[in-house]
């Protein structure tokens, strides 16, 4: 026998296919299933990575990592800020006032969360006095608000007192494309203090951290030097959202992995049918001196080539799909007039994707390993074909 022929025969079987229409159809299904399974897994992992990235960057850039508060308010927030900034984990601090309330505009009402912040930096649209109101785009659309409109803010009174009613003028409309667009309205710190009845005090400090995942640890460390304060971290306010994203990522990964597994089982069916069809050829090879190991190598080569072809094509489609998924979803939304991601349910209103080379490599390696394992049984069956029994009826 010619040395190295098992790989050559395996290549011929892969390239030539089969004259049997059923085997050819099963071959097409097996390769198509493998391509689609791998592509789908890469796209899904990229989308879930995108949600995780947006949660860590966009949402946690807008949501305070820590809120340090004191009952009755903080008189000298600058001194508190200097003390907090001494912690190596603290990135930045800013004073804040937060109140739950409701706005009314021409008989249309909506619940809101009023944030009082310094009228500079990201809130420069409030103007030098900071007495206007910035409203999110989705709330503005719901109430038909525009810059310059006058509306009324209602805030519950403390201790059962009558509600506080304050007129505001819309200073601007903003959009974060996150769930904050549903209800967050912003005014200047001084104006929010008037509404809250705090005078010159603030409720506390919003603290940005170098590592948001260490928010709780940092909060307890800060409280050790501030015994009359308390803290609220983002894990308390938005941790369920973060955990939901992580759980969804794991569950969807398992489900799509199952899709790839089903596609690999189709490869098993294909190879078994090929072995049945090629039994006479296998018997002839054995009479020419081919060993069981060489027959095993022939069909393992065929299975490996099917896997390499399907996984390479699936990986290419998955990469292209991951890069285009955001634009594709936006185009479909515009065409159908629909919105797939509603901020009432999802944390953002667009579909993010974060393609990672490590994920593509992991999916490809896993698919190839599963494909080789699946090819073992048909190859073993081929190696055990008895030549005398097969050729007796030929």
pLDDT for 329-342, tens place per residue?
A: 888 888 887 777 77
Least confident of 111-115, 221-225, 354-358, 389-393: 389-393
DSSP state of 232: E
Write phi, then psi, for 161 (nearest 5 degrees). -70, 170
When mean pLDDT is compared over 3-12, 29-38, 251-260, the highest value belongs to 29-38
Which residues make Cβ contacts (< 8 Å) with residue 102, sequence separation at least 6?
109, 110, 111, 112, 153, 154
Instruction: Give the whole-angstrom CA distance, residue 355 versus residue 94.
Output: 35
- 3 state SS of 202: strand
pLDDT attached to residue 185: 93
pTM above 0.75, yes or no: no
pLDDT above 70: percentage of residues in the chain: 87
Question: CA dist 388 to 231, 235, 249, 286, 359, Å?
Answer: 82, 71, 54, 10, 49
Residue 20 confidence class, pLDDT cut points 50, 70, 90:
low
Question: What is d(CA 322, CA 250) in angstroms, rounded to the nearest whole number?
Answer: 18
Residue that wins the pLDDT comparison between 351 and 125: 351
State the pLDDT at residue 158: 66
Instruction: Give the mean pLDDT of the chain.
Output: 82
pLDDT at site 66:
93
Report which of 180, 215, 138, 184 is spatially closest to residue 347, judged by C-alpha positions: 180
Residue 13: predicted pLDDT: 66
* pLDDT higher than 50, residue 123: yes
Confidence check: pLDDT of 146 > 70:
yes
> Sign of torsion, CA 100 104 107 109?
negative
- What confidence tens digit (pLDDT) does each residue in 228-240 have? 889 999 888 877 7
User: If you average pLDDT over residues 15-33, what whole number do you get?
Assistant: 67
The mean pLDDT value for 274-299 works out to 73
Q: What is the pLDDT of residues 251-276, one digit of tens each?
A: 877 877 787 777 777 777 777 777 77
Q: Where are the domains of the chain?
A: 5-58+242-392, 64-235
Q: Are 266 and 306 in contact (CB under 8 A)?
A: no
pLDDT over 80 at 278, yes or no: no
- Separation CA 376–CA 318 (nearest Å): 27
Q: What is the pLDDT of residue 344?
A: 65
Tell me the pLDDT band of 160, cut-offs 50, 70 and 90.
low
Task: Please determine, for residue 172, whether its predicted confidence score (pLDDT) is greater than 80.
Answer: yes
Q: How confident is the model at residue 2 (pLDDT cuts 50, 70, 90)?
A: very low
Asked whether residue 1 carries a pLDDT value surpassing 70, the answer given is no
Per the model's pLDDT, the better-predicted residue between 280 and 84 turns out to be 84
Per-residue pLDDT, 150? 93
Asked if residue 67 has pLDDT above 90, the reply is: yes
Strands 164-174 and 133-136: parallel
**Residues 132 and 228 sit within 8 Å (Cβ to Cβ):** no
């Amino acid at each position: 026998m010619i040395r190295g022929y098992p790989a050559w025969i395996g290549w011929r079987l892969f390239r030539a296919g089969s004259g049997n229409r059923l085997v050819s159809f099963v071959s097409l299904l097996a390769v198509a299933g493998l391509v689609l399974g791998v592509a789908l897994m890469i796209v899904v992992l990229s989308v879930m990575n995108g949600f995780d990235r947006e949660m860590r960057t966009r949402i946690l850039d807008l949501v305070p990592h820590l809120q340090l508060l004191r009952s009755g308010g903080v008189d000298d927030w600058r001194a508190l800020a200097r003390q907090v900034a001494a912690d190596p984990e603290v990135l930045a601090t800013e004073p804040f006032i937060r109140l739950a309330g409701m706005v009314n505009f021409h008989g249309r009402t909506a619940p809101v969360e009023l944030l009082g912040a310094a009228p500079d930096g990201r809130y420069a649209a409030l103007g030098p006095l900071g007495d206007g109101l910035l409203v999110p785009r989705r709330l503005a659309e719901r109430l038909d608000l525009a810059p310059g409109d006058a509306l009324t803010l209602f805030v519950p009174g403390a201790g059962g007192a009558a509600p506080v009613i304050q007129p505001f003028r819309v200073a601007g409309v903003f959009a974060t494309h996150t769930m904050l667009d549903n209800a967050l309205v912003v005014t200047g710190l001084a104006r929010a203090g008037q509404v809250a009845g705090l005078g010159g005090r603030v409720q506390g400090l919003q603290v940005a951290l170098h590592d948001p995942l260490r928010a709780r640890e940092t909060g307890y460390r800060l409280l050790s030097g501030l015994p009359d304060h308390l803290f609220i971290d983002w894990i308390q306010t938005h941790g369920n959202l973060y955990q939901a994203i992580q759980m969804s990522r794991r569950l969807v990964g398992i489900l799509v992995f199952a899709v790839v597994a089903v596609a690999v089982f189709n490869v098993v069916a294909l190879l078994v049918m090929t072995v049945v069809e090629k039994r006479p050829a296998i018997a002839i090879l054995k009479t020419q001196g081919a060993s069981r190991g060489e027959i095993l190598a022939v069909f393992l080569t065929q299975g490996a080539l099917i896997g390499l072809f399907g996984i390479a094509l699936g990986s290419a489609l998955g990469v292209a799909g991951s890069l285009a998924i955001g634009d594709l979803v936006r185009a479909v939304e515009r065409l159908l007039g629909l919105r797939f991601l509603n901020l009432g349910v999802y944390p953002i209103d667009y579909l993010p994707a974060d393609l990672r080379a490590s994920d593509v490599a992991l999916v490809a390696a896993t698919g190839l390993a599963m494909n080789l394992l699946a090819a073992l049984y048909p190859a073993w069956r081929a190696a055990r074909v008895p030549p005398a029994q097969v050729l007796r009826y030929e």
